[in-house]
Amino acid sequence: MEYMSAKEAAAKWGISQRRVAVLCSENRVEEATMVGNMWIIPKNAEKPIDARSLRYFDFSDITVKPFLKWAGGKGQLIKEIEPYYPFDKLKGVNKYAEPFVGGGAVLFDILSKYDLDEVYISDINEELINTYCIVRDDVEELIKFLSNYQEEYLPLDIEQRKEYYLKKRDRFNDLKINGNKLTNIEKASLMIFLNKTCFNGLYRVNRKGLFNVPMGNYKNPCICDFDNLKNVSNKLQKVKIVCGDYREAKDFIDENTFVYFDPPYRPLNDTSSFTAYTENLFNDESQIELAKFVSELDEKGAKIVVSNSDPKNTNEDDDFFDEIYSNQIIKRVDATRMINSKASARGKIKELLISNFEIL
């Protein structure tokens, strides 16, 4: 068997060398061995679940909420989506997959209400997925960073806040481009800090991949939501978190899986696109490819719901989604457009809920 040092394990797992030693001393790393005064760990060993400060609490009945604001977040549509949940209605459906997890409003609603056998989430946004992993695996260290930011930021006046915000944004972009696993906790903490203090909670990058959203105008932002972060960390312990394309979920999804797709919405006009969450674009061709993938999963017997914008808000003759999802059931529901630079462009609109089964 091949071994690695505690230092190598720390780099691989994105935690401190001291933390690796503690995990080994607690017999939580299988076949870890003390040689002299140092630990050696099997090279194929996986990072243990971090149960610090969580082991003495019963989280089974605790409601959790998203720890990030997110453009297009589904908090306002939960009441429309919840009737599709099949877990207590269809025998055998005990798995959940959300391949465009974003802020995770539906994910956390489901985790608060059901104890499922398996849960899979993914996104192509590397910084978002890193943050989910850190909340799950290193929440105590994450909270230390966020508590410091909150203590430093809140007492500042507006000009001092702008200076502080820009320094943190620059640091985040530096770690985004030049960071490594040893800086993942700091990078996740900066992701949350910027999300809580930037304009409208947007995540937007320029052509170089750098986060470029200006500071927002919040008097008392909650940068460190201590209780929710710890509760979320517990709920994520059994969740498989993947950074990758939605199609990578195919092997996980079977006839016992409920799948929710919340892809970047098709813009209603040239100025309403929210698809710059990552350096990649999600155009009409991408929407068509997703619809084909949904058909493949339908054939596997999965229960599927897809949300998207309704082009008929601006063009009654636009049948784009009606055509590409012609074999599915399309329901138009009321929603509120929350993120737009112009207040006049916000308000009630219709959105689509597309499913391969009737509401149960």
311-348 pLDDT per residue, tens = 999 999 999 999 999 999 999 999 876 544 444 445 68
Are 122 and 24 within one domain?
no
Whether 210 is in a domain gets the answer: yes
Question: pLDDT over 70 for what percent of the chain?
Answer: 89
Whether 223 is in a domain gets the answer: yes
Q: How far apart are CA 274 and CA 179, in angstroms?
A: 26
- In this prediction, residue 61 carries a pLDDT of 66
The pLDDT tens digits for 115-152 are 999 999 999 999 999 999 999 999 999 999 999 999 99
Are 35 and 104 within one domain?
no
The pLDDT tens digits for 49-60 are 655 444 434 445
Please check whether residue 332 is in contact with residue 310, taking contact to mean a CB–CB distance below 8 angstroms. yes
Are 18 and 163 within one domain?
no
Q: How far apart are CA 156 and CA 218, in angstroms?
A: 12
Question: In Å, what is the CA distance from 133 to each residue of 47, 121, 268?
Answer: 12, 11, 33
Are 276 and 148 within one domain?
yes
Are 27 and 88 within one domain?
no
Are 167 and 268 within one domain?
yes
| DSSP string over 65-107 | --SS--TT-SGGGHHHHGGG--TTTSTT--EEEESS-TT-HHH
Are 94 and 134 within one domain?
yes
Whether 224 is in a domain gets the answer: yes
Whether 128 is in a domain gets the answer: yes
Q: How far apart are CA 10 and CA 330, in angstroms?
A: 49
Q: How far apart are CA 280 and CA 340, in angstroms?
A: 21
Whether 52 is in a domain gets the answer: no
Query: Is the pLDDT score of 262 beyond 70?
Result: yes
Query: Is the pLDDT score of 93 beyond 50?
Result: yes
Query: Is the pLDDT score of 289 beyond 80?
Result: yes
Are 14 and 144 within one domain?
no
What DSSP state is assigned to residue 42? E
Question: In Å, what is the CA distance from 98 to each residue of 10, 76, 103, 248, 335?
Answer: 30, 18, 11, 11, 21
- In this prediction, residue 270 carries a pLDDT of 56
The pLDDT tens digits for 34-54 are 787 688 999 999 888 655 444
- Please return the burial class of 271, using the count of CB atoms within 10 Å of its CB with bins 0-12, 13-18 and 19+: exposed
Count of domains in the chain? Answer: 2
- In this prediction, residue 267 carries a pLDDT of 87
Are 219 and 82 within one domain?
yes
- In this prediction, residue 152 carries a pLDDT of 96
Are 109 and 196 within one domain?
yes
- In this prediction, residue 337 carries a pLDDT of 64
Are 100 and 174 within one domain?
yes
- Return the structure tokens found at 213: 């959203």
State mean pLDDT over 236-258.
97
Whether 49 is in a domain gets the answer: no
Q: How far apart are CA 310 and CA 283, in angstroms?
A: 15
Q: How far apart are CA 213 and CA 205, in angstroms?
A: 8
Whether 234 is in a domain gets the answer: yes
Query: Is the pLDDT score of 350 beyond 70?
Result: yes
3-state secondary structure of 191: helix
- In this prediction, residue 134 carries a pLDDT of 98
Are 73 and 145 within one domain?
yes
What is the domain-level CATH number for residue 280? 3.40.50.150
State mean pLDDT over 171-188.
95
- Can you list the alpha helix ranges (DSSP code H) found in 179-314? 184-197, 226-235, 284-300
The pLDDT tens digits for 20-34 are 887 887 778 888 887
Whether 206 is in a domain gets the answer: yes
Among 5-9, 184-188, 207-211, 244-248, name the one with the lowest average pLDDT: 5-9
Among 91-95, 204-208, 317-321, name the one with the lowest average pLDDT: 204-208
Q: Rounded to the nearest 5 degrees, what angle is found at the Cα of 64, between the Cα atoms of 62 and 68?
A: 165
- Return the structure tokens found at 118: 């398996």
Task: Domain of residue 184: give its range.
Answer: 57-360
Among 226-230, 243-247, 348-352, name the one with the lowest average pLDDT: 348-352
- In this prediction, residue 100 carries a pLDDT of 96
- In this prediction, residue 34 carries a pLDDT of 79
Banded model confidence at residue 190, pLDDT cuts 50, 70, 90: very high
Question: pLDDT over 90 for what percent of the chain?
Answer: 71
